[in-house]
């Protein structure tokens, strides 16, 4: 009976989430309801629920998770400092001579903002407001313009520092320790967020290269859909003042990226400490631009509190769900299912990736991380695979959830700021090649795991 209840519990959770109920309350509500049902049937011990206060205390005292509000603060502050506006204007002019240059500049700015902020909503909205009208005015096809903006905006989920990698690192670390303890290894090597940050660098940059390569090919095949800026217009602004403008736009974010990521890569700071550096750096940049006003600071604090509260409430709900699910023996059921698959761990990983990709059409990244990873993670990591590689595979897979209709958040963000002539179907058509590129990147990483493991091994000795 317990085996049946844990399956029904998962089905009920997915059903309520698809109906649109709030994630945090659905997680805890379904868990509590099934705990009471199981207890009344004599197949569940309420002592599992009694462990929840200890779980909550562990979440709230987790030093790693302090990085979440700090990185959110950094991202929102940079968005309010008008950094993206200056980057987009300048990079558009730098790449203007290239056919498809505006689309390429959007991707490059998306990568820079990803390494500076990691906030998908702010990036997509900002680039949608600033670059989409310009691209349309220059004769860009609405589909390729929309797709470029949405795809570039999601780079913040794979290029560190990324909230996804921080939360995923916490869940993967717990799943890996659980798998190793079950295998009899009572001193497993820890999996840190720094490992994931370093491991995500090469795949993230490779994805940027894939985006730009596609835009160059598309611009060459269909020059009328991605035209270059007229030469006479660019010649009119060339000169020493222009190069000074380029330096002014590029140097501040690059300095911040080096300070935040560099301190992690060389081992000078933990992700939490570097998040503090990033938050202070973002305030300094805002002050230099005259944007560190009382009104801006108040709004940044409000948005930071709102996003952080959402994350931590979901974490508590996920802890409740995990306790009850394991109380029913759900972790054993999942392990037996994956172990019994023909093809072994390869089939299990492929099935996991397919399930996550499909779930991305309906659920957001938080739901996938906090619901799916704790359930399937220990079963997959019980095999001899790298937890860093597996985590980066999940991160790239989760990134597609921002682009896939009907609930892709990047699509919603752009639809909210796009002019009327850009239809919803044009946005959907535009993201198709970029979703294909993300799936291709997933395949490349599956064939060449060293893309995710080589740099962490080089820097941290495995």
C-alpha to C-alpha distance for 71 and 16, rounded to whole angstroms? 31
Measured from the Cβ of residue 115, the count of other Cβ atoms closer than 10 Å reads: 24
Residue 160 vs residues 165, 261, 422: alpha-carbon distances, Å: 7, 8, 31
Q: Report yes or no: 318 and 27 within 8 Å, Cβ to Cβ.
A: yes
Q: Which residues contact 99 (CB under 8 A, 6 or more apart)?
A: 216, 219, 220, 223, 226, 227, 228
Q: State residue 117's pLDDT score.
A: 63
Q: State residue 442's pLDDT score.
A: 94
Q: Report yes or no: 275 and 70 within 8 Å, Cβ to Cβ.
A: yes
C-alpha to C-alpha distance for 453 and 385, rounded to whole angstroms? 11
Q: State residue 278's pLDDT score.
A: 86
Q: How far is CA 267 from the centre of its chain?
A: 23
DSSP symbols for 172-201: HHHHHHHHHHHTT-SSPPP--HHHHHHHHH
Q: Which residue has the tokens 């009327």?
A: 420
Extract the tokens encoding 377: 């993670």
DSSP symbols for 106-157: HHHHHHHHHHHT--HHHHHHHHHHHHHHHHHHTT--HHHHHHHHHHHHGGGG
Q: Report yes or no: 199 and 161 within 8 Å, Cβ to Cβ.
A: no
Burial of 299 (0-12, 13-18, 19+ CB in 10 A): middle
Residue range 164-174, pLDDT digits in tens: 888 898 889 88
Higher pLDDT, 122 or 298: 298
Q: Which residues contact 4 (CB under 8 A, 6 or more apart)?
A: none
The helix-helix angle for 101-116 and 142-153 (nearest 10°) equals 20
C-alpha to C-alpha distance for 249 and 438, rounded to whole angstroms? 29
The CB-based long-range contact list for 54-61 (8 Å cut-off, 24+ gap) reads 55/316, 55/319, 55/320, 55/323, 56/316, 56/319, 59/312, 59/315, 59/316, 59/319, 60/312
Higher pLDDT, 384 or 210: 210
DSSP symbols for 405-438: SSS-HHHHHHHHHS-TTS-HHHHHHHHHHHHHHH
DSSP symbols for 285-324: HHHHTT---HHHHHHHHHHHHHHHHHHHHHHHHHHHHHHH
Q: Report yes or no: 414 and 430 within 8 Å, Cβ to Cβ.
A: no
Mean pLDDT within 63-70? 81
Q: Is the pLDDT of residue 424 over 80?
A: yes
Q: State residue 63's pLDDT score.
A: 78
Q: State residue 434's pLDDT score.
A: 94
pTM of the predicted model over 0.95: no
Work out the percent of the chain whose per-residue pLDDT is above 90: 16
Q: Is the pLDDT of residue 422 over 80?
A: yes
Q: Report yes or no: 154 and 437 within 8 Å, Cβ to Cβ.
A: no
Extract the tokens encoding 38: 């199981």
Residue range 243-274, pLDDT digits in tens: 777 788 888 888 888 888 888 877 788 888 88
Residue range 132-157, pLDDT digits in tens: 888 888 888 999 999 999 998 888 88
Q: Return mean pLDDT, the chain.
A: 83
Mean pLDDT within 68-89? 79
Q: Report yes or no: 99 and 226 within 8 Å, Cβ to Cβ.
A: yes
C-alpha to C-alpha distance for 86 and 245, rounded to whole angstroms? 9
Q: State residue 232's pLDDT score.
A: 65
């Amino acid at each position: 009976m317990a085996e049946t209840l844990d399956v029904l519990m998962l089905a009920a959770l997915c059903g309520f989430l698809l109906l649109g109920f709030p994630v945090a309350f659905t997680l805890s509500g379904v868990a509590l309801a099934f705990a009471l049902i199981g207890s009344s049937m004599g197949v569940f011990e309420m002592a599992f629920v009694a462990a929840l206060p200890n779980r909550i205390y562990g979440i709230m005292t987790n030093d790693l998770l302090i990085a979440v509000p700090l990185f959110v603060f950094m991202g929102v502050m940079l968005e309010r400092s008008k950094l993206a506006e200056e980057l987009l204007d300048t990079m558009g002019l730098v790449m203007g001579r290239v056919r498809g240059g505006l689309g390429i500049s959007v991707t490059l700015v998306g990568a820079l903002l990803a390494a500076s902020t990691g906030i998908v909503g702010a990036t997509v909205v900002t680039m949608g407001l600033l670059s989409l009208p310009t691209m349309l005015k220059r004769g860009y096809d609405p589909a390729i313009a929309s797709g470029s903006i949405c795809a570039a905006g999601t780079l913040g989920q794979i290029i560190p520092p990324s909230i996804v990698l921080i939360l995923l690192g916490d869940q993967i670390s717990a799943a890996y320790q659980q798998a190793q303890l079950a295998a009899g290894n009572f001193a497993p090597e820890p999996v840190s967020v720094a490992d994931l940050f370093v491991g995500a660098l090469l795949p993230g940059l490779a994805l940027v290269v894939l985006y730009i390569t596609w835009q160059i090919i598309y611009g060459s095949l269909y020059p009328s859909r991605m035209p270059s800026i007229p030469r006479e217009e660019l010649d009119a602004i060339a000169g020493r003042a222009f190069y000074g403008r380029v330096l002014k736009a590029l140097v501040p974010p690059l300095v911040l990226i080096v300070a935040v990521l560099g301190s992690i890569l060389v081992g000078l700071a933990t992700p939490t400490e570097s998040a503090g550096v990033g938050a202070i750096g973002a305030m300094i940049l805002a002050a230099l631009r005259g944007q560190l006003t009382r009104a801006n600071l108040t709004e940044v604090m409000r948005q930071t509190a709102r996003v952080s509260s959402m994350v931590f409430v979901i974490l508590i709900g996920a802890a409740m769900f995990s306790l009850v699910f394991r109380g029913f023996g759900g972790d054993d059921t999942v392990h037996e299912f994956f172990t019994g698959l023909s093809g072994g761990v390869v089939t299990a990983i492929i099935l996991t990736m397919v399930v996550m990709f499909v779930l991305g059409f309906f659920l957001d990244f938080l739901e996938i991380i906090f619901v799916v990873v704790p359930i399937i993670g220990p079963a997959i990591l019980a095999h001899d695979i790298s937890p860093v590689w597996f985590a980066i595979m999940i991160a790239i897979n989760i990134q597609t959830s921002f682009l896939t209709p009907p609930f892709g958040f990047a699509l919603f963000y752009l639809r909210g700021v796009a002019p009327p002539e850009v239809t919803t179907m044009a946005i959907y058509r535009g993201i198709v090649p970029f979703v294909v590129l993300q799936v291709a990147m997933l395949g490349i990483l599956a064939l060449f795991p060293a893309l995710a493991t080589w740099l962490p091994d080089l820097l941290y000795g495995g």
